[in-house]
Chains A and B, each alone.
Chain A
Amino acid sequence: MNKPAEVVIVGAGIVGAACALELSAEGLRVLVIDESLTSAGSTGAAMGHIVVMDDSEAQFAITRYSQILWDDMRDQFPTSVEFDPCGTLWVAADEEEMREVRRKFDYYRERGVSAEILDSQQVRDAEPHLRAPLAGGLRVPGDSVVYPPCAAEFLLQKARALGARVIRAQPVAAIGKGVARLADGTVFAAGFIVNAAGQSAPKLSPGINIKPRKGHLVITDRYPNFLHHQVVELGYLKSAHSLTSDSVAFNVQPRKTGQILIGSSRQYDAENSAVDESILARMLQRAFEYMPDLSFLSAIRVWTGFRPATPDKLPLIGPSPQDPSVLVAAGHEGLGITTSLATAKLICAQILGQRPAIPIQPYLPSRQIAAEAHV
C-alpha cells in the first residue's frame, strides 16, 4: 500500500522531472502527474540548448548554476540523452555586435565562465559553413546540448528508482490547499504541490502571468561534421528581448545524429500550433544569411512549440501568491531545459526550508503581483 505523497508535482516535462528527482533524492515521497502519455508540452518541442545567458544578473545566476549542475551529471547520461558539450558560438555580423562580444567576454571572465573571442577568420575556422565576412564571435565552450524528451525521461526514471510515483494521461483540474484534484475527481493530498505545468500553469494557479510564445524548428537529414557548435547570432538577444513583435533569429544546433536543428522564431498572440509558412520562410532566410549552405540541406520535419514566457523574462520559482502550499515552477521561456536543474534545487530548498544556493528573490511569483500593483 503506497504511503501518501509528501509532494505532488503537476507536469512531467523537464522542470517537473527535475523537481521529482531532486525531491526524491532528498528523501521526500513524490507523486508526479502529467496530462499526457509523453512529452506533449514545451519539452517535447524544445531545442535542448544548455546555455549561460547574461541578460540580467538573475538570468546569469540561474543559467550558470544550472549549467554546472548539468555538467556534474554528464557521466550518468545514457546515449539517448545525447549530451554533447559542443559549446556555443555567438556570431557577430558587424562592429556593433563585436562590442557586444567583448562585453560578454568581460562579463563572463569576471564571473569565472570560460569564453574566447574569435576574429573574422577564427570564427570561420570554427564553423566553415559560416559565410564571409563576419566580424567575429564569442565561443563559450562550457555550453552544451541535450535531447530534451530523453533527458526528462532519464530524470524521471532516476526519480522513480528513488521511490517517486508517476501517473500519466491524467489531467489535473485544480490544485490548492494541500490538494490536487484530477479531472476525473480523484484527489491527492500533499503538504506541497509543485505547479510545473508549463503552458497550463496559469490555469492551475490563476494570477500568474505566463503567455505562450510560439517558435518554429526545422530538422534536417544527417550531415555529419556540417556543424560543430550551437551557433547563435547576437541579434538573437534582440529577438528574445522584444515583448510584442514577431521576430526571427539565426540559431542552429548540431545533433549527435548529424542532423541539424534550425531555429528560431518568436511570435506572440499566435496560439494555434499550425506551421506558419511566412515566419518559417523568414526564419530560414535569416539562417541562410549566416550559413548559405543550409539551403541545400534536406528538411525532414518542421514543427512548432510554445515557450511559456513571463513579462520580465525570468521564471517563476516559489510560492503561489494565493496559496503558500503551492510552489510554482514555470515560465522559463526559452531557457527551460537549461534552468530546469537549478529550478529543482531552488524548489527543494524552499520546501525544506534550506538556504538556496543563489538568491531566490528575482524568481518569486509574488513579484508579478507587486509589478502589477505599481501599474
Chain B
Amino acid sequence: MDSVKHLRFDVAVVGAGPAGIAAALAAADSGRTIGLIDDNPTAGGQIWRGAYNSARPSASSIWFDRLNKSAVQIVRGARVFHAAAGELAAESDDSVIQISYGKLILATGARELFLPFPGWTLPNVMGAGGLQAFVKSGLEISGKRIVIAGTGPLLLAVAAYARKCGAKVIGICEQTTRPKMARFGLKMMLIPDKAAEALRFAYDLRSIPHWTDCWPVAAFGNRRLESVRISRQGQTSEIACDYLACGFHLIPNVELPRTCGCRLRESFVAVDEYQQTSVPGIFCAGEPTGIGGLELALVEGEIAGYAATNWEDRAKHLFAKRARHQKVVRILQDAFPLRPELKNLARPDTLVCRCEDVPHERLCEHASWRAAKLHARCGMGPCQGRICAPAAEFLFGWQIDSVRPPLFPVRCSSLVALSSHSAPRN
C-alpha cells in the first residue's frame, strides 16, 4: 500500500509555472512556511520548461535563482487529485501526499485547445506549447522542418525559439485576418514593454513566412507526419514537414479551482483585486483567471502571494502594473477570435476523442456532452475530456458538465489513502 506523507504549509501554491513561482516568492517574504506543488519533475511550468537546470541564462534565471535561495519548499512530481476544506491530496510516484494549508494559491495554468482536422492524431503533430516544451527540455530539432499553425502570439514565440534551435520553420499559419493581425501589431507597439518584444519578434522571425487567413486543413503521413495541407486565403497547398505545431488558444485549467468551490466568470476563475476567489483564503493567479501571457501571470502571482500573507500594501503597489498587462488580455481576445471555418475541418471519420478513438460522426448523433460521453464514450478516457471537451464545446456548442473526481487518474490505492486522515487542523 502507498505510504502517506503529511505536509503542512501556511500557504500552499499549486502550480510551479511563472505565476506560482512569483506567488510563492512573494509569500515567502513574510517568513511563513510556503509550499510550491507541481506535477512535473522540475519547476517552470510549460513556458519555463527545462530552464531550471539550464546553464544558459534566460529571462527566467532570475526567478529560479531567487527560488533556489528562498525558503520555499518545492514539492515536485506531485499531482493534486483531490481537494477538501483546508486540504489537498496529491499523488507522487510512490506515495500520497496530504497537504494542509492556511491559505491556498492556485496557479494551475492553461492547456492548449486542439481543433480536430484530418490527420491531427499523427505522430509529430503536437501542441505549439507542447513542442516548445519538449525542445526546451532537450528535443533536438536542428535541421527539422516545422510548420506552426493556429492563432496568437504564442506561434511567434514558438517559431522564434525553434529557429534559434536550428529548425527550419517553413511558415506560420495564422487563422486570424490580416486586418486583425495588423491591428494587434499596432496595439502591442503602443504598450512600452510589448513594443520592444514585438520588434524583437519581427527581427527573430525575419524571412519566415507569416500567413494570415491561413489554417491547416489536413495532415498526411504513413506512420508519422510527412506533410500538411494548408488553406491560405482560399487556396490550398501542401507542405512537406517533420513537425506540425498547433496552437489554437489556451484553455484555463479550472478543474482544481472548481473542485475547491471557486466561482467562474465566463469560464475563468473569478477573482477580486487581490486575486482572491469566491472562496475566502483561496487565491488564483495566471491563466486560469484570464489568458494574458507571462508578464501578467507574474504580477498576478506576486499580488496573490502578498495578499495571501496579509501584505495588502505591497499587493496594492502592483495594481497599476497589473492593469497595464491586463490590457493584453482584451487585445488578444479581439485580435484572435476563432473563425467559423475551423468548425468544418473535421470530417465524419476525424477523431475528436483520442483516448477512446471516437470520430466526429458519432458525436453528431448526440445533443449534449453528457449524451456523447455516455453513449459514444467521448471523454471517458484517461484525459477525462481535457483534450476533447474543449474541442466538442467549440464544434457543437455543448456546455461541459462538472468535474468528476478524481481530478486526474490515480492509482486505486491512492483513493484509499484519501480517507485515512490527516494532520490535525488548527
**Chain A in direct contact with chain B (Cβ < 8 angstroms):** yes
Q: How far is the CA of A287 from the CA of B416 in the complex (A)?
A: 11
Q: Is there a chain A Cβ closer than 8 Å to B374's Cβ?
A: yes
Check B375 against A149 for contact (C-beta < 8 Å): yes
Task: Using A38-B370, A38-B375, A298-B382 as known contacts, say yes or no to A218 and B404 having CB atoms under 8 A apart.
Answer: no
Contact B418 A38 (CB under 8 A): no
Binds A, one of B30-38, B234-242, B405-413: B405-413
| Residues from chain B with Cβ under 8 Å of A277 in the complex | 82, 84, 415, 418-419
Cα A62 to Cα B318 in complex, Å, equals 71
Assess whether A295 is interfacial by the CB under 8 Å rule: yes
Beta-carbon contact of B367 and A284 below 8 Å: no
Instruction: Please determine whether A301 and B420 come into contact, CB atoms closer than 8 angstroms.
Output: no
Say which residue of A218, A278, A298 sits within 8 Å of B419 (CB atoms). Answer: A278
Confirm or deny: A80 has a beta carbon within 8 angstroms of a beta carbon on chain B.
Answer: yes
Q: Which of B374, B417, B419 contacts A149 (CB 8 A)?
A: B374
The answer to whether the Cβ of B182 comes within 8 Å of any Cβ in the partner chain is no
Interface check B1, CB cutoff 8 A: yes
A40-B84 Cα distance, complex, nearest whole Å: 26
> 5 tightest CB-CB pairs across the interface, nearest first?
A38-B371, A295-B413, A281-B419, A149-B374, A277-B419
Residues of A within 8 A of B410 (CB): 298-299
A19 interface residue per 8 A CB criterion: no
Taking CB as reference atom, which chain B residue is nearest A37?
B368
Give the size range of B's interface with the partner. Answer: 20 to 34
| A302 in contact with B416 (CB, 8 Å) | no
List 13 additional contacts besides A38-B375, A284-B415, A302-B404; criterion CB under 8 Å.
A37-B370, A38-B367, A40-B370, A149-B374, A153-B375, A277-B82, A280-B419, A281-B416, A281-B417, A281-B419, A295-B411, A295-B416, A298-B382
How far is B403's CA from A275's CA once the two chains are assembled, in angstroms? 12
Find the residue from B367, B374, B405, B419 having the highest chain A CB count within 10 A.
Answer: B374
Q: Does B381 contact A (CB under 8 A)?
A: yes
Judged by a CB distance under 8 angstroms, whether B384 is at the interface is yes
Contact B374 A296 (CB under 8 A): no
Task: Give Cα A149 to B367, complex, Å.
Answer: 15
- In the complex, what residues of B have CB within 8 A of residue A220's CB? 412
Q: Counting CB contacts under 8 A, is A294 at the interface?
A: yes
**Residue of A at shortest CB range from B368?**
A37
Give the residues in chain A near B418, CB-CB below 8 Å: 277, 280-281
Residues of B close to A294: CB separation below 8 A: 412
Whether the Cβ atoms of A37 and B371 lie closer than 8 Å is yes
Our pick among B367, B377, B380, B412 for the contact of A37 (Cβ within 8 Å) is B367
Q: Which residues of A contact B82 (CB under 8 A)?
A: 277
**Which residues of chain B come closer than 8 Å to A295, judged between CB atoms?**
1, 411-413, 416
Smallest CB–CB gap between B127 and chain A, Å? 22
How far apart are the CA atoms of A300 and B355 in the complex, in Å?
Answer: 12
The distance in angstroms between the C-alpha atoms of A278 and B370, with both chains bound, is: 27
Interface string of A240-282 (1 = CB under 8 A from B): 0000000000000000010000100000000000010110110
Partner of A300, one of B409, B417, B419: B409
Using CB atoms and an 8 Å cutoff, list the residues of chain B in contact with chain A. 1, 82, 84, 356, 366-368, 370-371, 374-375, 377, 380-382, 384, 404-406, 409-420
Per a CB cutoff under 8 Å, which of A40, A80, A257, A299 touches B409?
Answer: A299
Residues of chain A from 284 to 300 with CB closer than 8 A to chain B in the complex: 284-285, 287-288, 294-300
Cβ contact within 8 Å between B1 and A299: no
Q: Which A positions have Cβ atoms within 8 angstroms of B?
A: 37-40, 44, 80, 149-150, 153, 218, 220-221, 257, 262, 275, 277-278, 280-281, 284-285, 287-288, 294-303
Given known pairs A220-B412, A262-B412, A281-B418, the reply for A80 and B375 (CB within 8 Å) is yes
Question: Which residues in A have their C-beta under 8 angstroms from that of B413?
Answer: 284, 288, 295-296
Is A150 within 8 A of B375, CB to CB?
yes
| Nearest CB on A from B2, distance (A) | 8
A285, B409: Cα distance in complex, Å: 18
Q: Report B335 CB to chain A, min CB distance, Å.
A: 36
- Please name all residues of chain A whose beta carbon is closer than 8 Å to the beta carbon of B415 when the two chains form the complex: 218, 277, 280-281, 284, 299, 302
How close is B105's CB to chain A, nearest CB, in angstroms? 24
Q: Which residue of A lies closest to B376 (CB)?
A: A80
**Cα–Cα, bound, A298→B375 (Å):** 22
Structural contact, A39 and B412, CB atoms closer than 8 A = no
- Residues of chain A lying within 8 A (CB to CB) of residue B409: 221, 298-300
Q: A148 → chain B, closest Cβ, in Å?
A: 9
- CB–CB A300/B374 < 8 A: no
Residues of A within 8 A of B368 (CB): 37-38
* Contact A297 B416, CB 8 Å, known A37-B368, A38-B375, A149-B374: no
Could you tell me if B416 and A298 are in contact, using CB atoms closer than 8 angstroms? no
What would 12 A/B residue contacts be, using CB atoms closer than 8 Å? A38-B366, A38-B375, A218-B415, A221-B382, A277-B415, A277-B418, A284-B415, A294-B412, A298-B411, A299-B406, A299-B410, A300-B381
Contact partners of B377 in chain A: CB under 8 A: 257
Q: In this complex, what residue of B is CB-closest to A301? A: B404
Residue ID in chain A nearest B82 by CB atoms: A277
A296 in contact with B411 (CB, 8 Å):
yes
Chain B residues, CB < 8 A from A153? 375
User: Distance (Å) between the CB of A295 and the closest chain B CB?
Assistant: 4
Q: What is the minimal beta-carbon distance from B352 to any residue of chain A, in angstroms?
A: 16
Question: Is there an interface contact between A296 and B412, defined as CB atoms closer than 8 Å?
Answer: yes
Whether the Cβ atoms of A302 and B405 lie closer than 8 Å is: yes
Contact of B404 among A284, A287, A303 (CB under 8 A): A303
Cα A284 to Cα B414 with chains together (Å): 10
What is the CB-to-nearest-CB distance from A254 to chain B, in angstroms, rounded to a whole number? Answer: 15
Q: Which of A38, A40, A278, A296 is packed against the most chain B CB atoms within 10 Å?
A: A38
Given contacts A38-B374, A221-B382, A301-B384, contact A285 B411 (CB under 8 A): no
**B367 touching A39 by the CB < 8 A rule?**
no
B286: shortest Cβ distance to chain A, in Å? Answer: 27
B384: chain A residues within 8 A (beta carbon):
300-301
* Chain B residues with CB below 8 A from A297, complex form: 411-412
Tell me how far the C-beta of A82 lies from the nearest C-beta in chain B, rounded to whole angstroms. 10
